[in-house]
Structure formats: C-alpha cells, structure tokens
Structure 1
Amino acid sequence: MKVKFALFFIWNILFSVCSLDHIPRLTLNQGDGNRLLYSQIQKHTVFFHPEGSDELFVGGTDFVYRFNVDDGLLVENFSLPTTGEQNCEENPCENVITVIQQFQDSLFVCGTNGNKPQCWKLYPQVANQSSEIIESYEGTGISPHVYTQNSISLTIEGDLYAAVPLNSDGTSLQFRRKAGLRPNVWMYDRWMTEPTFISASWVKRDKDPEQEKIYMFFREKNSDSSPEADPWISRVAQVCKVDEGGSKRFFQNMWTSFLKARLVCGIPKESLYFNRLQDIFVQHADDWRDSRVYALFTSSWNSTAVCIYSMADIDSVFENSSFKGFSEEIPKPRPGTCVPNSRALPMATIRVIKDHPEMSDWIHPIHRQAPFYISSNNYTKITVDRVTVANESTHNVLFLATDHGMIHKILEDDFKPFIISETHLTNLSAPVQSMKLDSTKRKLFVGFPEQIAQLDLQRCQDYNRSCEDCILARDPYCAWSQSGCTPVSQGGIQNLAGGKTDVCHKNNDGKKRKKRETPSSSVDPPEAAYSVPLGVPFYLSCLIHSHHASYRWEHNDHTSQCQQTESDCLHLITAMSEDNYGRYRCVSREQDYTMIVKAYELNPIQAPENQKNAVTQVAAQRLVMTVLVPALIAVFYH
C-alpha cells in the first residue's frame, strides 16, 4: 500500500511540473538520405570529429573508417584485427575500438585487441599517399579489456587521461594521467566506491592557465544501504592540470588536488531526487565561470531529468565548502588548490586530500527548485548547441537521444523547455551508440549499430507552409523571410519567447497590419466533396501537424472535438442521416493562430436498396478496419 501511494504521489508531482510544452510539437522522419551504412552490424562504435572538419573517424570491430561528411563517402578503411598473443577463452577474439583521440602528432587509436588492449598511432595522409598506421604500445589503462567495461578518455596539451579498469575482470577502475609530457598520476583507491565514469572535461582559463582544472563526472555506490536510499550517488570531482603528484616520501604519483562533491538534481521541497547520472555535456564559454554543465539523470521510478549547473558554482563549492568528516583547522594551502609544484605541498594538506576528499556542501543546479526538464522518456545521451538568432541574441538548443533512437530537439527558453520536434532517424528501434555535434556545420552525427545518421539542425523546410507555421515552431535555427522559412539571416522574423504569430502581421515599422478574419489560415485547403448514401457509416479525417494545437470539427453551427489518434483527428458518423450532410471543417488552434486543416462537403445520394446494403457493408468494414481498430490500439498504447 505504501509503495502504491508513493508511486501515485511521485507521478502526481511529475505531471504537475509537466505541460503541453513537454510533448514534442512535431514528429518528423529523417528519410533515407544522409546515412552512412556499415558493412555489418556493430555492437560498439566510437566517433572522432574535430569541430568544422569534413572528416569523421569511426571505430568499430577490427576497423577504423574515415568518412567525408560533406559527400557521405567512405574515404579510407583501416583494418585493425587482433595482434600478438591474446586470451580469448571467455570473449570473442576481436579488436573493438574504444578510443580515438588526437594525441600529439597523430590520431591515437586503442582497442580491446582480444582482451589484451593495444594502441596504434594513425598518421594522416600526405599528398596522395594513404594514411599510415604504426603499432605503438601496450594499451592497458587506456582501453578496457572488454568493450562493455566502463571507460572514458581525453587528451589535453600533449597528455592523455583515461579512466578504465587495469584488470581484465573490470577491477582497479580509476582516473589516471596515463601518457604524455607530464608524469603519470593515478588515484588513491579509497576515494571512490565502485564508480561508473560518465565524462571528463578540461575547463580552460585563458588568463590563469596554472589554475586550470579537469572535472570528472561519475556515479558511485552509495554507502547508505537502507531500502529508502538510492544505490547510486552522482558526483563531480576535480584535479589540477599541473598536478604531478606528491613527494617521494608521500603520495608520489598520486593526485594531490583530488576533491569530489555531490551533484543534486530533483525537487527538494518534495524530497524527490534523480540520483543516477547518465550523460554530461559541458558548454564552454569565453569566461570559464559562465561555462555550463548539462547533466542527464535517471531515477528509480523510470523517469529522466536534465539539470543545468554553473561552472562557477561547482568551483565555489570546491574552494569554499568544508571537508566532510574533517573538523580541524583547514591547512594552507587549502587542499585542492592548484600550485606550481605539487611535490612541495605540506603533508597536512595532502592528508586532508587523502582522508577527507568529499565536500560537505552539495552542488545545486542554477534552477534550484526543480530540474530544467523532467520526462517519462528514457534518454541516453545529451548534447547542446548555442545558436545566434535573427536579433543577434543567443539561445541554447538541447538534443536528447531516446533509447529507441529518436532525437528530441529542445529549446531552452528562460530556463523553460520547449520540445520543438521528435525526429525518427531510422526505421528500426535501435539504441544510439555515439553522438557528436558539429555546431559549425550545423549537423548532428548519430551512430547506430547498422549506420551513422546525419541530422541537419536547420530543417526549416519542416515549417515552410506559412509565416505562422515558421513562428510557431520556435526553432532558433529558422526564421521567416521573403524566401520562406529558411536558416536564420538578418531581418528574418522570429518570436522564440512566446511563439505568438502576430509578428507575421506587422509592418517593418512594427505597426500591426489589418488582422485577418478567423480562421487565420493563410490559404484555405481545397474542399473535398463526397456523395454518401443515407444510413451508412462514414468518417472524416485530417492530419495532425502540431501536437501542441487543439483540433475540432465544425459542421454548420455545431462544433465537436475530434477523436484523436497519434497522427489523425477523426470525426465518426455511425449512420448517415439528413442532419449529417453539409460542410465540415477540421480547425486547429495553437497560440493565437487558427487554421483550417481540411474541408469536406458531404452530399446525399439515392441508391437502390441492394446497392445501399452493399455500400453499407463495405463502408462499415472500412470504418472498423481502417479507423476504429487502429484508433483503439493507438489509444490503448498511448
């Protein structure tokens, strides 16, 4: 009984914070274009794509592909089968590529190599010669032994950092500086409990590079084993880029600047929290304090939330919070401070790092009262683009991948979400393995087991029916101009804040033109005429374009709500009578815009009794099989 009440309570809270804006306004299909197909199904892939480049490197099983993203062609195929002696008794003897990073003078590629990780250097092609692969060195600590093991990696100024298990059984998982110009550094074993690393990010400080830090985002096992406690706690940790470990006497080759803090995402007044961090996107700004962290969380009741954090707030907790479990005077320099020579740090400072690395204060999102976005969708990946719009202001757009391979495009409007669209990239319900945003090219590369899909972020043709259609979309990439709904250009018409369409009826001086009469559809649709015998069942339908609009049927002086499926608004007539003849209009209303979607005229027809019966049977079968059954199924599953 308590469990049922708790679930009821939770869902009431979730529905109270959700609204129509939490439903995708449009449902779109990518189509068959802009796809790069693999020769065989891939169980794991990894992308490497420099911003603005025409090259996309894709690592799979025993290969690295190099694609030209502008023409969609495969440029090179590098074969990387297992080499040397392997231990493939429990796992297939294959080389699954898990790391592709730009490292020093080459592209660094690492893979499982039949349970014996190996790395290679890929030197770019020169003139007309092909690229060259040279076997480099043993890759333990850079690539996992098995692709399903947790791992992350990044390169910073000639150094390579990674978090992977050192052992084939998945143990000894920690974040290390593994190769490069600075000394190798690793973690103290007691700092984390069964962690799952999500991401790591280097936050640059152009005016103070000696204070630059690397932030790790992860979740770890909760020490609180009570039934009410979530088994996981989400965290962010820091280390200094200049950290080279302690002295030979104490903490040699171990991080001397490691600190961690709890990430909070939830509704505090209801004690409702999302504790399982799933994905991270760090949006860097010119001033590092303005950088944002977009975090994707899930919960034990199968809901997803997005919380947004300020990098200034994260750094403030590390610089000002007390240390959990430490009550003595804080030594100087303060533990976690970046210093030019970490090997000269006093033992008192390092002991606090060793025994009390957790901050007492929690890190709260910039919208403290509730997550930016809560959904019943199971999202798996997140990325965020910053878009300059027609009036030169900037807006953020989130792209969230569902576990069924769909992409939700969400406008961040003054800390409120507006779901612009849901795009189906493939006919198959497949998980997204990799996702990479190219803001310069306005493309999103999405990796599936069977293909790579390119999503054009400027799909303005989807809202090109009228100025009102373009405005209602509230898509920062698109604006209305003399050429229709096109990618944003100076002088284009937009209204992202509210989506009101009255901006379409203003002159260049800002004054309103004469209002159109309602309905305000720019062009009324042609009227479809049907002759229908008396007594037969019949139905009318019109296509639902926007899921944010309300639809109704108008017939003579009567108005009725439609019977709505996922894609159609229906009007069902069980048996035609004299009162059912006449004109019908399917009318949609969204914001301040009313539009006639479809128009019909039903006329009587006199038919012989035997023909009437035959028509009645055929019409009834048509109604049941093509309308009622699909409608009931849609309603049931919805």
Structure 2
Amino acid sequence: MRPLAALCFLCGFFLASTLSEFLGCTPRKSVPYHVGGNIKLFREDGVWNYSTMLLREDLGLLFLGAREAIFALDINDISSKKTQVYWNVTEEKQRECTYKGKNADTECRNYIRVLHKMDDNRMYVCGTNAFSPTCDYMTYAEGQLKLEETQGEGKGKCPFDPFQRHSSIMIDGDLYSATAINFLGSEPVVLRSSLTAIRTEFKSSWLNEPIFVHMDVVRESENSSDGDDDKVYMFFSENAVEYDFPSKLMVSRVARVCKGDLGGHRTLQKRWTSFLKARLDCSVPERSLPYIVQDVFLLQHSDWRKSIFYAVFTPQSGSSDVSAVCAYSVPSIGNVFSKGRYKTPVTVETSYMKWVMYTGELPVPRPGACINDAVRKLGIESSLGLPDKTLQFVRDRPLMDEVVQPLNRKPLLVKKGPMFTRIVVDRVTALDGQSYDVMFIGTENGFVQKAVNYDGEMVIIEEVQLFQSPEPVKILRLSSNTSQLYAGSETGAVQMALSECGRYTSCVDCVLARDPYCAWDPTAALCTTLSSAHSTSDTALIQSVKDGNAFLCPKPVIVKPENYTLIPGNNINLRCQSDINLAQMHWYFNDQPLNTSDTKYFFYSEGIMILDVSAADEGQYICQAVEQVKGQQYPRTVAAYHLQPRIEVTEPPPTPLPTEGPVVTPEVTPDRGPTRGEESPLLPQSSSERGKLVALQVSVALVSLLLVSLLLWNVHRGHFPLLRCFGARSPRRSGLGQAQSLSANSHQVPFQAKVSSEDKLLVTPSNCNASNNHSSGDSAGNRNHCPSPRVVSPMDVFKYINDESEI
C-alpha cells in the first residue's frame, strides 16, 4: 500500500470512529404522542401558522400570533383561551397582492410576525398584511384584547413574504429588526427603528442574500471596567464572499452592533458604524460543507461574561441527516470583534475580487469598536465624532478574518435523524448544588428532545412527541417560573412540563434517567420533581446526575414469576419489552444466560419464542434490562416466567370382577420391582404413551371383531365349504356337477352366480385348448371345447379353487 493511501485510510478510520462515537447519542426514552403526559393543545378551526409567541408572566398569559389572529391563552393551560382579536386583510389589499402574482389563499393573508412588549405595558404587533407590512399597538385590559388601529408602516420591521425568515427584538423602547425592506426580498437590512433610525448598507460585503435567524442583546455595560456599551448580536447565514468556490457557498455568521451607535457625521450617515461580522463555526466530525445555523438561544447569567449562546446547525446539502448543537461564550465572540484581524478585498487580474487578511496599520479608534472610556479620552463622545478614516475602513471591511469557535472547539451534541429546528435552554440546580444547562430541541417531525451535558458527556434524557402528525416545530418558548415549555407549528400550539418525573416508575429508573429536575423520594416511593422546597442538603432524596449511580437505591422488590403451562410440541411466547432505548435485554433460564445463537429460541423486540417445547424446557425464565452508565452495569428485572408441565389426575385401577373357579394369586417378590432411576419397560412412561396404547388395543379389538363377523357370514353363505374337510360331499356340490354335465351338452353357461354387476369377474378354465378350430357337430370335440368365459363373483373364486381336486 502506498504511504499516501495508507494515511488516507487511517484518517478515514479515525474520522469514522469519532463520528460513530458522536452519533451514538440516543434518547434514553421515547414518549409517543398518546402517552406524552400532561400535554395541552390549542388550535382553532380555520387558523394556521402558530409561529409567534410572547410570554407575559406578569399577566399570566401567553400571546400567540397566527394567520390573521392573535390569541391570549392561560399561561398554565394554553388550551384555555381567554380572548382573541382578528386582524384580517381587506379585500382591496388582497386584490392588489394577487395582481402582483401572489397566491390569494396562502401568501395574500396577514401573518403575525412581530409581537413585543413595550415599556408602557402595551404590545407592538406587526403582520405581513398581503405583502404590505403593517404594524399596530395592542392592549389587554379587563380580559379583552384590542388593537388600537393606529396602523403604521412596517417596512424593515416585518417581512413582506410570510415564509421568509426574520428576527427582531425590543430594547429600551426601540425595535431592532433584521429582514428584507422591499417587495422582492432582495434588499436585506438590519434596522433600528427609533428617532434616529440606523440601518446597514446595501452592499454585498455587508449582507449577501442573508437568512436571518436570531437577535439578542447582552448588557455588557453593566459592571464594565472600561465603560463599554451594550451589544446587539444577530445570527444569520449568507452566501460567502471570502471563498473561491465555483457556486454559491452558504456560511453561518454572527454580527454585532453597539446599542449606542448613532451613525457617522459625514461617512455612514444613518448607517451602523459598529457593524462587524464573523464566520460561526460548528464543525461536525465528517467531511461536509459548512453547517448552517437554524436557531439560537441566549442563556443569560447575572454576570454577562458567563452568558452562553446555544445554536442548532443542519447541513446545507441533502446528502446528510446529521444535526448539531454548539455553544459559544459571549466573551469569545466579543474577542473576535475587539481583538481579531480584518479581511480586506483585493482585485486580482482587474476583474476578480478576493478577500485576504488585512495586514496594514489600523486607524484609531479601532474600526467597529463601541464608544468606551479609551475612546472618550480621545475626545469622542459618540459615533458622530468618529474620524472618516475609521468609518471608511469599517464600511469597506466589515468581515473579520478569525472564526468564532464553539466551547471546547467541538459540538456539544451531534445526532443523526430528523433535523433540528429550534432550541431553548434552562439552567437547573441539582441536589449536588451544581447548575446544569438542560436543552430542549425541536425537530422537523414534531418531537422535542431533552438533553444535558455532564462534563463533556451528552445525555439525551428523553424525546417527546408534541404533535400527532409529523410537522416541524417552528417556535419554542420556555418559562422557568411556570416550568413549562411552549411550542408552535403550522397546525397548533402545545404546552408541556419541563419534567414529568412520574414517568420514572422505580428508584433505579429515576436515578438512571439522570434528570436534574427529578429525584427519588424513598419515603413516598416515587420520583418527585425538585423545587425550591427541597434543599440541596436534603439527604432523604436520591439523585446522581453526573454518575448515574443506581446503587444508592434500596434493593428492588423481587418480581413474582408468572406461571405458564408447558405442553410438549407447542411454541411458547414470553413477552418482555423495555421502554428504555439504551437498555440491552438479557434472558436467563434457571439462572443461566440463554444462548442467543440457539435455534430453539427466537429473539425479537418484544420478547422470545421457545420453539417445540419439551420437558427439558421446564423451569424459570427471567428477562432483565441492563443499562450501562460510566462503565457500570445496572440490571433490572422486567419480567419473570415459570414453565411447568400440565398436572394430570390418574384414575385408580378398576376392581376385578369375581370369577368362577379357584383364584390363582401370583407370587409377589418385593425385590423384583424397578429400582430408583429404572422404569418398567412394560408400562408407558407418560400420559401420552398410555393414551396411544389404549387406542391401539381398541383398534385391534374392532378389527378382530370385523374379521370374525366376515368369516361367519361367508360360512353361512356357503362360500367356504368346510364340510369337505371330513370327506363328505354336499348336495350343493352334486347339483353343481349335474349342472356342469348339462351345460356341456347344451353349450350353456355352466354356472352363473347371482351377484351384483360391480362384483362380476371373467374367469377362463385352465384346461382350455390352445386352438379352438373344431367342428360344431363333433361330439368328441365338444369335450375338449373351451367354454365361454364365465361370470362369477369374487367370493366364488374360492369355490372353484376348492373343486380343482375333483376335476
């Protein structure tokens, strides 16, 4: 093998091993829709696209935006609708939309896309309004939801196309939005709607056909040592300009602007002076094109330096079905923008533009930086005072050379299967006093997966089916106060608890789930949900999320075996099915493991089938589910069976009837009986053999009786002339001789028995001459003449045979 080929083989082998290790992450439990627990569903006939949510915990309501409707639902039970308001498209707007080539039933409707809380307790709502974005204010008072009908322009705040991704956030009364600003969707913009509106440049180096995903704010000005500003981060994907690729190559991006940005004085007027972007990396252990970000969630901490962005990624080609989750710390993203190098475009051969790392001298203040104490020392109090050299640099070079890497430089979770769509994260404090981040990940087939990372070990606790029909999860919202998760899709919205500890039916099951929400209560003998009422020093509860040590549990109750009757020759089905996807099923027969390669046993997902059972299969069968955590195996008995033969009642021997004459009693020798382990060869050894012998005896008796009856009947009919044995001639025989003489002279049939037609046979005498050429008048020849065939009965054959001695 060539050295290069060998190297490629080894690289491929290690890559496949690493990928298989990642893809081995399987949900411990799969909860189907009909057993999903306390899941609440809301939908209304004729209303679709439940994809916008606003949690108002201060009002105890969830505001749900859909197509041409906004609902106010009880935050504790969304199936309970408090009120609603409808925002329909006018006939004129719908007609104008159809004139522009859009579909009247789907596109030319009003899809609610923006729903935010204002500082004055009102809500700001925007809809697509038949490709004419419109915004309004909404109030909730005295149990009623009402639009103020002060409709304003929604361009740049809400998308024209209802199926185009966008993002927005309300910060201190100002709306930050990322969407398209024109009907065709060809002019993307990141906009701040305020008294001094600020937006991005219409340049491909700024935004190149982007797909906006998420936007959030990090309060970096709080407890800042250098007087820094708050940052607004936005996540999107776009066509890359920095790669020499034959076709369009999508990459994931994270961009940042400063909240206090006012634009430039001459250069970049009413444009962002702090807009910078960088590539977001989430590399999976397989050779593929860059993965594309689909959703982002900011898990905020009281110290913003400990805040983390969680993001889900999917492949941009259909050749893979692997999704990934990556986590990014806020400081690592900030360092790329504040300390990293820039990319700059250079012209190659007068026509081709190539992006390379900028190696020249940077202007002061640093391009794209926020106004902080260092900049203020230069006499610059706002972005309006920035020099043109700094502004021109950031206008032409908004792209950073460095790539934002995830924590530990690898994904937290890589999973094969339905694509990930949305993500939310909750931080939970377990009994050990440590905090753990629990991820809830929506999928394209309507499931949500609950996962947590324990020091680099990813555990998917469970996956729950939210919707009865497979449909993508379009939005996820989480409320830590109510411990509820809310999800929306095209057909409805659902609510589920963050933890359903009641699904864990035993201590071992509860501990091995490694769910930080749940712990086993030995006193109540149930798996309970942790709350603020439970102290972390409560030693009565049992929990082991890091190690999954189920040996902390008391000894389980022994499973009582179920009795089965063993009938030789039959097949017996023993059911055993575990609800744990990670468990391996082991079968034991009389405390010995069953051989899986034995053809006598048929193993399948719901148990085993024992084929052609016999007395050797009598005994106890135990089915165990074995889970392995941290190299330790934890068996649990799921089912137990005891196979025993059928018990038959033997009848006592019949009492002998009295007989005439002396009764002969045979001698009985005690030592002549069979010894232990020896059986009498004359007696059947089982009930089945005794039954066969009795049946054989009855059959022989019936056949003997039939033969005797047949013999007596033949004697009675004279078919068997037994009297000749004593030398006497019967008159029947004399008559027959006379009949033969008479028939010889008259050429008549010598004898004809009265038999049925089906019993007649043709018989030819054995003394017939070979030739029958003779004179009809020769009397001498008549004695040698061969008579015609005679018709006789089968039983008459015996008579002729007996008569041959007298011929």
Instruction: State the SS of the aligned residue for 1:148.
Output: coil
Q: How many residues align?
A: 582
- Note closer, same or farther for the CA distance 1:217–1:323 as it changes in structure 2 (3 Å cut): same
- Distance change (3 Å), C-alpha of 1:10 and 1:375: farther
Query: What corresponds to 2:582 in structure 1?
Result: 548
* Structure 1 residue 70: Cα displacement: 1.9
1:606 Cα deviation after fit: 8.9
**1:76 paired residue number:** 83
CA distance in 1, matches of 2:114, 2:553: 50
SS state at 2:490 partner:
coil
The question of whether the paired residues in 2 share the 8 Å contact of 1:445 and 1:454 is answered with: yes
Is 1:418 matched with 2:459? yes
The Cα of 1:385 is off from its aligned counterpart by 0.5
- Residues 314 and 322, structure 2, Cα contact 8 Å, conserved in 1: yes
Hey, what's the Cα distance between the residues in 1 that align with 2:199 and 2:284?
38
Match status 1:187 vs 2:205: no
Indicate the residue corresponding to 1:302 in structure 2: 321
1:218 maps to what in 2? 236
**Partner residue in 1 for 2:336:** 317
TM-score (normalised: structure 2):
0.68
Q: Does 1 or 2 have the higher relative contact order (CA < 8 Å, sep 6+)?
A: 1
Q: Aligned residue for 2:301?
A: 285
Match of 2:167 in 1: 152
- 2:610 matches 1:573: yes
Q: d(CA) in 2 for partners of 1:321 and 1:13?
A: 34
* Alpha-carbon shift at residue 365 of structure 1 (Å): 1.0
Question: Which of 103, 120, 123 pairs up with 1:91?
Answer: 103
Write the deviation string for residues 582-627 of structure 1: whole angstroms up to 9, x where unpaired: 2111012224432211011223349999xxxxxxxxxxxxxxxxxx
**Residue 368 of structure 2 is aligned to residue 336 of structure 1:** yes
One-letter code aligned to 2:577? L
1:461-509 CA-to-partner distances (Å, cap 9, x unmatched) read 011x22222111100001122332111122132111110112335xxxx
CA drift at 1:418: 0.3
Matches within 5 A, 1:63-212: 63-72=69-78, 73-83=80-90, 85-86=92-93, 87-89=96-98, 90-92=102-104, 93-105=108-120, 106-125=122-141, 127=142, 131-177=146-192, 179-190=193-204, 191-205=206-220, 206-208=222-224, 211-212=229-230
What's the offset of the Cα at 1:76? 0.9
Bigger mean CA offset, 78-87 vs 354-363: 78-87
CA distance in 1 between counterparts of 2:133 and 2:14 reads 45
Name the CA shift for 1:138/1:7 in 2 (closer, same or farther; >3 Å): farther
Residue 24 of structure 1 is matched in structure 2 by: 27
Superposed CA deviations along residues 318-346 of structure 1, whole A, max 9, x for unmatched, are 11111112332111110121124111110
Q: Which runs of 5+ in 2 are unaligned?
A: 345-357, 372-380, 649-686, 689-807
* Larger CA deviation: 309-318 vs 97-106: 97-106
Output the CA distance in 1 between the equivalents of 2:470 and 2:585.
Answer: 30
Which residue identity is paired with 2:184? D
In the TM superposition, 1:455-466 aligns within 5 A as: 455-463=496-504, 465-466=505-506
Distance 2:636 2:528 in 1: 22
TM-score of the two chains, using structure 1 as the length reference: 0.85
1:365-376 equivalences under 5 Å are 365-368=406-409, 370-376=410-416
Is this contact kept in 2: 1:44–1:147, CA < 8 A?
no
Contact 1:556–1:584 (CA under 8 A) maintained in structure 2: yes
Letter in 2 for 1:37: R
Partner SS, residue 149 of structure 1:
coil
| Contact 2:51/2:488 (<8 A) preserved | yes
Query: 1:493 aligned to 527, 542, 545, which one?
Result: 542
Q: Is the CA contact (8 Å cut-off) linking 1:214 and 1:241 kept in structure 2?
A: yes
C-alpha separation between the residues in 1 aligned to 2:391 and 2:49? 43
Q: Does 1:231 align with 2:231?
A: no
What is the deviation of 1:16? 3.2
Q: Alpha carbons of 1:536 and 1:584: their partners in 2 closer, same or farther (altered >3 Å)?
A: same
Moved more, 190-199 or 554-563: 554-563
Partners of 1:246 and 1:345 within 8 A in 2 = yes
Distance in structure 2 (CA, Å) of the matches to 1:397 and 1:408: 10
Residue among 377, 390, 414 paired with 2:431: 390
- Quote how far apart the aligned CAs of 1:536 are: 2.2
Q: Which position in structure 2 is the counterpart of 1:240?
A: 258
Where does residue 60 of structure 1 map in the other structure? 66
Amino acid aligned to 1:63: A
Offset of residue 117 of structure 1:
1.1
Q: Which amino acid is the alignment partner of residue 237 of structure 1? A: A
Inter-CA distance 9–95: structure 2 relative to 1 (3 Å threshold): farther
CA 1:230/1:297 → structure 2, altered by over 3 Å: closer, same or farther? Answer: farther
Change (3 A) 1:129 1:280: closer
Matched letter for residue 115 of structure 1? F
CA distance in 1, matches of 2:460, 2:277: 33
Distance 1:604 1:154 in 2: 74
Letter paired with 1:16: S
Question: Which residue of the other structure, out of 608, 611, 625, is the alignment partner of 1:588?
Answer: 625
Q: Structure 1 vs Structure 2: percent identity of aligned residues?
A: 32
- 1:44 Cα offset (Å): 5.0
> Distance in 2 between the 1:198 and 1:81 partners?
27
SS of 1:590's equivalent?
A: strand
Structure 1 residue 451, shift from structure 2 partner: 2.3
**1:551-566 aligned within 5 A:** 551-560=585-594, 561=596
What amino acid is the match of 2:200?
A: W
2:111 alignment partner AA: V
- Report how far residue 7 of structure 1 moved: 13
- In the TM superposition, what is the alpha-carbon distance from 1:41 to its structure 2 partner? 5.4
Preserved CA contact (<8 Å) 2:602 2:610: no
Distance 1:320 1:563 in 2: 65
**1:42 CA drift (Å):** 1.4
Q: In 2, Cα distance between the equivalents of 1:444 and 1:563?
A: 43
Query: Which is worse superposed, 471-480 or 259-268?
Result: 259-268
- 1:539 corresponds to: 573
Q: Which residue of 1 aligns with 2:513?
A: 473
Distance 1:427 1:524, change over 3 A: farther
Residue pair 2:444, 2:473 contacting (<8 A) in 1 also:
yes
2:16 partner letter = N
Q: 1:256 Cα deviation (Å)?
A: 0.3
- In 2, the alpha carbon distance for the partners of 1:331 and 1:350 equals 9
| Residue 57 to residue 7, structure 1, CA distance change in 2 (3 Å) | farther
Tell me: CA distance 1:26–1:558, structure 2 relative to 1, closer, same or farther (3 Å). same
1:250-281, Cα deviation, whole Å (9 max, x unpaired): 1101100011111111158x766642111111
Relative to structure 1, is the Cα distance of residues 167 and 14 closer, same or farther in structure 2, using a 3 angstrom cutoff?
farther
Summarize deviations over 1:357-394 as a string: whole Å, max 9, x none.
Answer: 111111111111x3111111211111111001123321
1:404 is aligned to: 445
- Write out per-residue CA displacement over residues 273-315 of structure 1, whole angstroms, 9 at most, x where no aligned residue: 6421111111111121111111111123221111111111110
Shift of 1:40: 3.2
Aligned to 2:73, the other structure's residue is in SS state strand
CA spacing shift, 1:215–1:535, aligned 2, 3 Å = same
Segment drifting more, 161-170 vs 469-478: 161-170
CA gap 1:590/1:37 in 2 versus in 1, 3 angstroms? same
How far is the alpha carbon of 1:135 from its aligned partner? 2.9
